[in-house]
Amino acid sequence: MPQPTIIAVGELLVEFVSHREGCELRELSEYSGPYPSGAPAICIDQAARVGAATQIFGAVGDDNFGNALIERLQTNRVDVSGISKVSDKSTGVAFVSYYADGSRTFIFHLNNTAADAIATDEINLPDGPLIMHVSGSSLGNPKLRTAIECTATVVIERGGQISCDPNARPELMSDPAVSAALQKLIKKSTYLFPSDNDLEFLYPNQSSQTAIKELLSGGVKTIALTRGEHGSTIYTDNNAPLQLPGHTVVELDPTGAGDCFCGTFLAMAALGHSTEQCGRYANAAGAMAVTKRGPMEGNSNLDAIEQFIKSNPAKAEA
Ligand code: ATP
Ligand code: MG
């Protein structure tokens, strides 16, 4: 059986990170950027670095932000032939600023930029088995949502698998069409990467444990609950949950750690590793990701992840 290609359809953005805590993107601050970003791009970049075959479908403007994105992904061996350049729109941009408690505020320039200029009929999926990764962050945009839903239907018809990181931010989910699309994709997923907050938001009347049990009995095969500095817990339908404690690192910029976790987990799965290996490597890669400023600057290849696990073992099992 050939290895599956990991694909994503969604927003390609560059991100600027404020150096001043609490500036709220309102007061003057210095910024770093343009950092290549967009949740699907971060995940796919990481999966490629780990060694999986990958392809991303999206659009950028005919400008240097777009060039920076394409060059980064290409350097890391992502197939970028599904990225179109739109001449009359600018590349999407995100700005982020942190507060002292680690929470953050974003401004996205996504709607009506090149980031949502995706034509569903131009998505030519590669031959062979597929794993399609979806980030809930893409579903708030109607054009991206349509492209993702149509592509997911084709992937499933072809016998491929769906992976979903809900990223269920309440401000995004106030539109019932968004939460309906997310719930539908979750039910069709083989891999699910929720945080505790995602589960609380998606299943407010249930405990996380009950929600996980129901998702597994409904057909989801693997649920990796991401828990920030505490690591992750992996649930599969027939085994006891696997607690994977976090690695101790100095957190500089946590944005993108979840996407990096997903990219690592999926790439390891595509390369044929056990669920436990997938989780351990994803945990390490997520920890590495938060140590660098910029959403995909902390992405890493397999050698670096192995080196990190040796030199910085996970905390003792809880
Ligand atoms: P985001 O949506 O912002 O990308 P998330 O909430 O989906 O993030 P997290 O749980 O924050 O995802 O991070 C994903 C994984 O990265 C965690 O499960 C953990 O393995 C690792 N990780 C994140 N933050 C830290 C940290 N401070 N220390 C060690 N590991 C971390
Ligand atoms: Mg997340």
Q: Taking the CB of residue 209, how many other CB atoms lie within 10 A of it?
A: 11
Ligand 1, atom 30, residue with closest C-alpha: 287
In this predicted structure, what is the pLDDT of residue 221? 97
Domains present along the chain, CATH in parentheses: 5-317 (3.40.1190.20)
Ligand 1 proximity of 312 Cβ (cutoff 6 Å): no
| Cα end-to-end distance, the chain, whole Å | 38
Radius of gyration of the chain (CA): 18
Strand order in the sheet with 104-109: 31-37, 13-18, 92-98, 104-109
Per-residue pLDDT tens for 155-165? 999 999 999 99
Place of tokens 């016998």: 159
- Residue 46, both tokens: 């990481």
Ligand 1 proximity of 254 Cβ (cutoff 6 Å): yes
Weakly modelled stretches of the chain, pLDDT under 50: 318
In this predicted structure, what is the pLDDT of residue 317? 61
pTM of the model: 0.97
Ligand 1 proximity of 225 Cβ (cutoff 6 Å): no
Give the list of residues 6+ apart from residue 155 with CB closer than 8 angstroms, or none: 7, 125, 130, 132, 161, 162
Question: CA–CA distance from 168 to each of 10, 72, 195, 270, 286 (Å)?
Answer: 16, 27, 9, 26, 19
In this predicted structure, what is the pLDDT of residue 239? 79
Best residue among 106, 226, 248, 309 to mutate for probing ligand 1, ranked by most atoms within 8 Å of CB: 226
